[in-house]
Structure 1
């Protein structure tokens, strides 16, 4: 979800206004995904690199998380959306983490859509953690080194209980993955759009799904 800052700058607004508009775009994307029968939607809300931003902007982002998790909890329940977190959300402090965990707990049994929010997430760190876990098991004699394969690594990723990644969309004209779901995106279809995230509406979501439907997925087989 890229382009919040540029969206605000083009309108002569502070960056926090772009983040607020971006949060509304998340709501639209969630509803569009649920209406389209999408099983799982993962959004990159805060990367492990975003801590490099100004203290003021990080504080604004944390405040928005706090506000929207409280405001949207009723909607998640009504729409039968299950919330899941990946990354290291504890880094946002005990109070905010408690609010996030409460939303996870109260939506655990919802079955219409799984909304995965990546918070303080970095894919390289996720893969490294899986490698460390397997190395520790190998040293302990619990697994033979030659038994470590793609499945063994996948089983230690934070997405291990989620369906395979089919489609990855990046907004705002940037053409890179920026440390997001690198392992999981091995055979995902990629769509890069010039639309800034706050302007990513129901029509844009529908266009992305239609483009995905036109792709021929071969998985290297032919």
Structure 2
């Protein structure tokens, strides 16, 4: 498989991951599946890790990866400054953008998972805050009842941010693979195979 085709496969794979991340971030604005006041939404949700990091920023590498296959690589035969080589090299920069975006989402998700959700808690004086700031709730599910409102906010918060974390790690891995693929395409070229086919076709015609 040539470098361009492989890059296109990576771009196609990133699309559903990108959509999932955006949807997860949107759902986090409705803790426990309910509409609440904006000040009762966890602060990490407002960092838009899934929407900006794994969503908007990921659009650029996706478009570039999918467009590499459409380059007219056969037109560069005999030309040292092959356009396909330059395209593969430039894809590395966009892959780096994808790594940064997904990395941002992973960091936000990790911090949020460790800190826990914003919720109403307290036995006597109920207040809104982060009762799990030290991450104990991850190993002790009985602590989840500390949050009184919104209902089921802990499982909602933890599940969605875990999905964002996993999706972000997969996006980082795919973009890292394209960095290697881009280097190979830039160094080894991606147009020899199609040029050979074109030359053979021309010979047959003559």
Higher RCO (CA-CA < 8 Å; seq separation 6+): 2
What is the TM-score normalised by the length of structure 1?
0.25
Q: Which has the larger radius of gyration?
A: 2
What is the TM-score normalised by the length of structure 2?
0.26
